[in-house]
Copies of this chain bind each other. A is one copy, B any other.
Amino acid sequence: MKKGKPTIHEIARVLNINSSTVSRALNNSSRVTQKTKDKVWAKAKELGYQRNLLASNLRRNQTNTIGVVIPRISRHFFSSTIAGIEEVAFTSGFNVIICQSLEELDREQRIVKNLIANRVDGILISVSMETDNGKHLEYFRDNNIPLVFFDRHCEDMPGTSKVIIDDCQAAYDAVTHLIRKGCKKIAHFSGPGKLEIYKNRLKGYKQALLDHQITYDPRLVLSSRLMEADGYASAEKLLTNGIDIDGIFAANDVSAIGAVKYLKKNDKKIPDDVAIVGFSNEPISEVIEPSLTTIDQSGFEIGKMACDLLIHNIQSGDNLVHNKTIILNPTLIERESSNRKTGI
């Protein structure tokens, strides 16, 4: 007979008290007697009352929700960050909306608009490969809504917090590791040049070569979107063009695995003919044969720190805290794909 969901007014009507009192009772306000609270709680349970968060959020002008924008959830690194984010968010009473850009700027822009329309209290974002500026994110700065980058960030937004890893150092370590293992001609699979993280990984690559008196050869750097097929194609391109290499540093594991597959298929020995280092420590990198040397980014930690920072910014309401950058130091995980006998 009553079709709609019960509201506080419904409860108020039945109990013959005012709806404000019901609201206060449900919120456990000190301005209501325990006796009244009990009555209200009982009746609410009886009617199956469920607070309408739309109304509540509208009135309070806050949603207790944070938006998370990532390229794709199927990447282990990102699902780890989400796990970290959710852990922190949950204990602080925040909800999380997860959105995937699928590496498309267009989608990312739509998502961001939508999060704004949904009035999230803050946003955590790791931008897509197509994102070369933060124009679509300016709204947050202008409206004083906290935003924290993690991992992939925009260089044109200086006044923004971020939690990143030292990509340059990580790449430097990876390449140095290959050099120590005796590699002289190291190729680098890089991502879209727009992205800071790939620029920095390239920078680390170059610096490592420089510091070890190896001349930088631009033909050895191949840019792509770093999917498995890209890694496969890049390896193929190098070998079929007769470009001689004895090591590969790939900017992610997936492309490294593509290379592994090509090399194995063409009877190249890993690591003895070509040693390989990936990036991100995807679970698959441990299982593949040979297992892949890679850089562990500890996504879970990054997620936790980014979310901590964001919530802190939300709760302090203080823009002065906004500009905080946390740089984590990733660690090299040595596995078979670089385990040569022929070290220095």
Contact = CB atoms under 8 A, between A and B. Distances in A.
Interface of A: 5, 48, 50-55, 57-58, 63, 72-74, 76, 79-80, 82-83, 86, 95, 97-98, 100, 113-114, 116-119, 139, 142-143, 257, 283-284, 287-289
A156 to B, nearest CB: 19
Given A48-B142, A73-B98, A287-B288, 7 more contacts: A48-B139, A53-B117, A53-B118, A73-B79, A97-B98, A283-B284, A284-B287
Nearest to A142: B48
Nearest to A119: B54
A73 B82 contact: yes
B86 A100 contact: yes
A257 B95 CA distance: 34
Given A48-B142, A76-B74, A289-B289, A54 B95 contact: no
Given A284-B287, A289-B289, A117 B257 contact: no
12 contacts: A5-B143, A48-B142, A50-B116, A54-B54, A58-B58, A73-B98, A74-B79, A95-B114, A97-B97, A283-B284, A287-B288, A288-B289
A257 B58 contact: no
A262 to B, nearest CB: 14
Q: 7 tightest A-B contacts by CB?
A: A74-B79, A53-B117, A289-B289, A54-B58, A73-B73, A98-B98, A287-B288
Given A73-B73, A98-B98, A257-B287, A117 B51 contact: yes
A305 to B, nearest CB: 20
A21 B109 CA distance: 28
Copies of this chain present: 2
A54 B58 CA distance: 6
Nearest to A52: B119
Contacts of A287: 257, 284, 287-288
A49 to B, nearest CB: 11
A50 B284 contact: no
A52 B139 CA distance: 14
A50 B116 CA distance: 7
Contacts of A97: 97-98
A63 B58 contact: no
B113 A50 contact: yes
Contact of A52 (B58, B72, B114, B257): B58
A119 B117 CA distance: 16
A100 B86 CA distance: 9
A117 B80 CA distance: 27
Contacts of A117: 50-53
Nearest to A117: B53
Q: Which of A53, A54, A118 is packed against the most chain B CB atoms within 10 Å? A: A54
Nearest to A86: B100
A53 B118 CA distance: 5
Contacts of A116: 50
A52 B53 CA distance: 14
Nearest to A287: B288
Nearest to A107: B90
